[in-house]
Amino acid sequence: MKQRTLTILKPDTVARRNCGAIIARLEQEGFEILGARMVRLSEEQAMAFYAVHKDKPFYRSLVEFMTSGPVWPMALERDNAIEHLRLVMGATDPAKAAPGTIRQQFASSIERNAIHGSDSPENARTELAFFFSAVELA
């Protein structure tokens, strides 16, 4: 069944000019891009987006990283989009990411790991709404 998910090309991806390669990979995987917009997150916005991690030791540094340059959120659609994106992304830590995954190929560290992907239907809904209005994705 068709499903939507949110990805974000993170600041390391934009800075290292890996956006094109990663978008090409996502398209090859059958994702349709429904919406995309390059944005520079404020500290408040990055803190809100990652609020679920607010008590983690890496939160402060993550917020700093995510506000260090432009990011490229995209709304994606595909069969089983949420699970498939997580599979194609690979593990959070690129050292543990399977060969051929985006993070294995493009991430430089567990923090600077190239790409975000929603991890559940509830979070996909919330995260899509964080960046895109219903009208934009219609």
Binding site for ligand UDP (CB under 6 A): 53, 58, 62, 92, 110-111, 113, 116, 119
Q: CB under 5 to 8 A by kind: which of Mg ion, ligand UDP, none does 111 bind?
A: ligand UDP
Beta sheet of 72-79, edge-to-edge order: 32-36, 72-79, 2-9, 115-117
Closest distance between ligand UDP and the C-beta of residue 91, in Å?
7
Return the DSSP state at 51: G
- Binding region for Mg ion (CB under 5 A) out of 56-64, 76-84, 114-122, 126-134: 114-122
Report the SS3 class of residue 42. Answer: coil
Measured from the CB atom, the residue of 36 and 86 that comes closer to Mg ion is 86
Residue 122 CB burial class (10 angstroms; 0-12, 13-18, ≥19) = exposed
Active site residue 116: yes
